[in-house]
Amino acid sequence: MWNKLKNLSNHSVMRFFIKLLGDPVRLYAVFLVTTVMYYYHASMTAIYTVIAIFISFVMMKLYDFIAKHKYLGILVYLIYMFAGLSGISMLTNWASKSYSISFFVWFLTPQSVVAFSFWYTVAIYILMLGFLTSVVYYFSKIRYRMSMQFLIMLIPLSLYAKENQHMPAILVIILLASYFLLMIYCKMLCNTKEVRYLPSYQSRMSIAMYVLGFSVIASVIPKPNIIPDREFIDNAMSYSSWSDILMNAISMFTNTTDNSMAVSNNTRTLYYVQAPESLRLRTQTYSYYLADDSWNVIENYDKPLEFLTEPLTYRPQDVLQAILDACKLDSQFAENYHLQDFTNITLPEQDLHALYMYTWYKTQVLPSPVRTYQLGTEISKENIKISATNTFQSNDFSNGVSLAYYSDSYAKYEIINQILQNLSNQNYENLLQDAIKILKNTNSEQAELLEQIISEYAEAYEYLEQVQKQDFQSDKINLLAQEITKDCYSDFEKAKAIEEYFIKQDFVYDLSYEKSDFENAEYFLTESKTGVCYEFATAMVLLCRNAGLPARYAQGYNLSELYNREINQHQTNYVIKVRDAHAFPEVYISGYGWISFEPTVPSMEILENTQAENQNIMKWGFIILTFAILGGLILFILRMVREKFFLKN
C-alpha cells in the first residue's frame, strides 16, 4: 500500500501538479487575481482561479527565461507586453461597440452602479493576471521586497474599499496566508550558531504548520466590533480623477433611473450641511414608471426649464389657518366639512428654517427639501433654472449655498394630523371654493391663497390622470391599494396607511439583494418583499396613485449623519456621503400640498454587519482548524501503516 502511494507521488502527472501548486510565488499571484475577479465576476471566480494557475505557470516560465537572458530577455519582455496590451485594446474596443460606456469609465466606476460586461471583465482578467504575476515575480525572485508585495496586496483590497464592501472571509484568510507563506519562502535560510537549517521535508512542514497556525489563530480570536472613521481617506480619494468620472456616471440628474443609484454603499463625502433637523433632500423627481422597472421624467415637469423666481412655495399653516378662519365666520361651512371641532384652536407655528450646504464637487444639482421657500444670496439667481417640482439646476453650486424651507415635520403635530384626517380629495375643491366665498370680503389675501391652492390641486390631479395613462398597469397593485385604504377617509390617512403597510407586512431592506430582470414593483409587493429604498419608494408611489392620490418618485439624499466642521464661517453639523443616496415618494395631501413620506423599512446597522462578518471569519477559522486536525490524523495513520508494513516485511 505504501509503495503504491509512493509510486503515485512519483508519477509524472502528480509531479507536474506538485510543481504547479507548490510555488508560493505563483500561488500568491493567483490568489491576488482571485480576489480581483471575485469583485468583478463572483460567480465565475473558481474558473478564473483554475485558469490563472495554469497561465501563471507558463508566464513564470517565460519570466525565468527573461531573467536568464539579459538583452534577449528585455526584447522578449517588450514583445510580450506589446502583444498583451494590444490584445486588451482590441478586446475592449470590440466590446465597447455593444456597451454604453467606455472601458475606462466602466473600470473606474463601482460595479454596483454599472451593468455587467463579460468582455470588459475578461479584459480586466487578462490585464490583472499579466500585471500581478509580473510584479510579484520581480519583487520575490529578482528583487526581494516584501514591503512592495504588501503594497501589491492593497490593489485588490482597494477595489472593495472604494465601495466599502466586505471581501469574503475565506478570501481574506487565503490572501493573508499566501502573503506570509511567500514571506517565509523568500527569506533566505542559512546555517549559523543561532539558526539550524532543516532538511527540505522538515522545512516545508514547519512552514506549513506556521502558516496554518497563523490562519487559524487570526480567524478564531474574537475581533473588536469597530466602525472605522474613513473620512480622511475617502476625502482624499474623492479628489482623484476617477472620482469625477464616477460622479458624472452616476449623476442623478438624468431622464431615467432604476435601483442602481439606491444600492450604492460608498462612504466618500459629498456635502457638508448646517441644518436644524434630519431631512430628506431631493435632486430630481420622476413621473412615469414602466414595466421594465425604470422611472422616466416628463420634460416640462420634472426637468428644470424656467429661471428662478421667488418665493417658491406657500406655508401650509397659512392654508389651514384660512380654512379654519372660514369655519369661524360660517358655522354651517364648518359643519358641512366636519371641522366644527377646530374653530377655536390655535395652530402651532410653522417656522421658516435655514439650511446651508457646501460641496467640494462641481455639481449642477442642488439637494433641497420638498418645500424650499427661497435661496440665499451666495449665488446668482439668473443662472438657476427650476422645475415645476422645485428641483434646481445651475452651472455650479460648489461654492456653498443657503436656503430657507418649511419642514414636512409640521404634519406630525397632533392637531395638524387631526385636521388633515378630515380633509379628502373627494370634496376638497368644493371646500376651497366655499371658503373663498366666505373670505373674499373679509380677508382678500387668504382668498387669493386658496385660489392658488385650487390651481395647484387641479394641476396635481391633471398630473395624476396624465401619468396613469402611461404608467405600468397592474390589477394586483390596484386591488392591494384598495385593500390597504378601504377604511380610510382622508388623503393623509390613506398615505399613512400605505406608508405603514411595509412595516406591518414584514418587508425587508437588503442591500445585497440582486433582482432578476423580470422583477418590478408588482413582484416586490406580492412576491419578494425585499429590496432597497428604490423598491419601497416606487411601490408607495404606485399604491398611492391607485388609491387616487397624486404621487411622484423623488431621488436624492438622506441627511442624517452628524458631523461637525466649520466651513466658510458656517458650523456644519451634518455630512452627506455617497451611501446616503436615497429614494422616497412625494404625495399631494389635501390641506397641505406636496409632502414627502418614508416607506423604506429600517436596515441593519453597520455594527451588526461587522459582527456578522467577524462571526463568518471565525467560522472559516474553525473549518480550517478541523481540516488541519483531520489532515494530521491522516498523516499519523499513514505513518503507523507504513511502520507496520515495514516491520511485517
What pLDDT shows up at residue 253? 43
pTM of the prediction?
0.65
pLDDT band at 499 (very low <50, low <70, confident <90, very high): very high
- Out of 51-55, 234-238, 634-638, pick the least confident: 234-238
Q: What percent of the chain has pLDDT above 70?
A: 76
Q: Give a yes or no: residue 2 inside a domain.
A: no
Asked, for residue 601, whether it belongs to a domain, the answer is no
| Domain presence at residue 7 | no
pLDDT band of 234, cuts 50, 70, 90: very low
Neighbours of 71 (CB within 10 A): 7
6 pLDDT band, cuts 50/70/90, is: low
Confidence of residue 266 (pLDDT cuts 50, 70, 90): low
What is the per-residue pLDDT for 256? 73
In which residue are the cell numbers 471566480 written? 45
CA geometry: angle 42, 48, 54, nearest 5 deg? 160
Q: Is the pLDDT higher at 17 or at 144?
A: 144
Mean pLDDT of all residues in 47-54: 90
Residues 176 and 350: their CA atoms lie apart, in Å, by 58
Q: Write down the pLDDT at residue 647.
A: 61
Asked if residue 644 is part of any domain, the answer here is: yes
Could you tell me whether strands 256-257 and 295-296 are parallel, antiparallel, or unpaired per DSSP bridges? antiparallel
The answer on 370 and 240 residing in a single domain is yes
Task: Let me know: does 489 contact 547? Beta carbons within 8 Å.
Answer: no
Concatenated DSSP letters for 467-518?
Answer: HHHHSPP-HHHHHHHHHHTTT--SHHHHHHHHHHHHHHTT-EE-TT----TT
Q: Which residue has the cell 388633515?
A: 420
On average, the pLDDT of the chain sits at: 81
Which residue did the predictor score with more confidence, 360 or 557?
557
Full domain range(s) for residue 499:
234-596
Write the pLDDT tens digit of every residue in 153-178. 887 877 776 655 667 777 877 787 78
Are residues 378 and 261 part of one domain?
Answer: yes
Show the cell assigned to 397. Answer: 453650486
582 in a structural domain = yes
Q: Mind listing the pLDDT tens digit for each residue in 172-217?
A: 777 877 887 777 777 654 444 555 545 454 555 555 665 556 555 5
Q: Quick one: cell of 535? A: 423598491
Q: Are residues 157 and 303 in the same domain?
A: no
In the chain, pLDDT over 90 holds for what percent of residues?
39
For residue 619, pLDDT beyond 70: no
Domains in the chain: how many in total? 3
How much is the pLDDT for 106?
Answer: 79
242-262: average pLDDT: 52
Dist. CA 391–CA 368, nearest whole Å: 8
Shared domain for 274 and 295, answered yes or no, is yes
- Taking the CA atoms of 521, 526, 531 and 536 in sequence, report the sign of the dihedral they define: positive
Q: Are 299 and 309 in contact (CB under 8 A)?
A: no
Tell me, yes or no, whether 526 lies in a domain: yes
Q: Judge whether residue 110 has pLDDT over 60.
A: yes
Sign of the four-CA dihedral 303, 308, 314, 315: positive
Q: What letters, b where the CB count within 10 A reaches 16 and e where it falls short, cover 444-477?
A: eebbebbeebeebbeebbebbeebeeebbebeeb
pLDDT at 632 over 70: no
Pick from 555, 571, 596: which residue ends a domain?
A: 596
106 within some domain: yes
Predicted local distance difference test score (pLDDT) of residue 174: 79
pLDDT at 17 over 70: no
Pick left, alpha or beta for residue 566 (phi over 0 → left; psi -120 to 50 → alpha; otherwise beta): beta
Q: Estimate the crossing angle of helix 491-504 against helix 475-484, to 10 degrees.
A: 110
DSSP 377-411: SSS-GGG-EE-TT--EE-S--TT-EEEEEE-GGGG
Contact 28, 53 (CB under 8 A): no
Closest CA to 221 of 516, 622, 566: 622
Residue 83 pLDDT more than 60?
yes
Are residues 179 and 200 both part of a single domain? no
Residues in the chain, total: 649
User: Does residue 559 share a domain with residue 504?
Assistant: yes
Give the model's pLDDT for residue 251. 46
State how far the Cα of 590 lies from the Cα of 488, in Å rounded to an integer.
Answer: 14
Contact (CB, 8 A) for 450 and 464: no
Residue 622's pLDDT is: 60
Residue 218, pLDDT score: 53
Is 452 or 379 the better-scoring residue by pLDDT? Answer: 452
Q: Is 649 exposed, middle or buried (0-12, 13-18, 19+ CB in 10 A)?
A: exposed
Question: What are the tens digits of pLDDT across the range 268-316?
Answer: 788 999 999 999 999 999 999 998 899 999 988 998 888 888 889 999 9
Are residues 138 and 271 both part of a single domain?
no
162 and 253 in a single domain? The answer is no
Do 523 and 585 fall within a single domain?
Answer: yes
Q: Are residues 180 and 127 in the same domain?
A: yes
* DSSP state, residue 548: T
- Decide: 297 and 382 in contact? Cβ < 8 Å: no
Where a domain ends, among 130, 163, 187? Answer: 187
More confident residue, 59 or 165: 59
Residues 648, 548 share a domain = no
User: Considering only 46-55, 93-102, 312-321, 408-417, which range has the smallest mean pLDDT?
Assistant: 93-102
pLDDT, residue 230, reads 47
Q: Are 293 and 521 in contact (CB under 8 A)?
A: yes
State how far the Cα of 253 lies from the Cα of 93, in Å rounded to an integer: 28
Pair (206, 239) in one structural domain: no
Tell me what percent of the chain is helix, strand and coil, each rounded to the nearest 5.
Answer: 55, 15, 30
Residue 226 has pLDDT above 90, yes or no: no
Distance CA 359, CA 379 (A): 14
Q: Is 447 a member of any domain?
A: yes
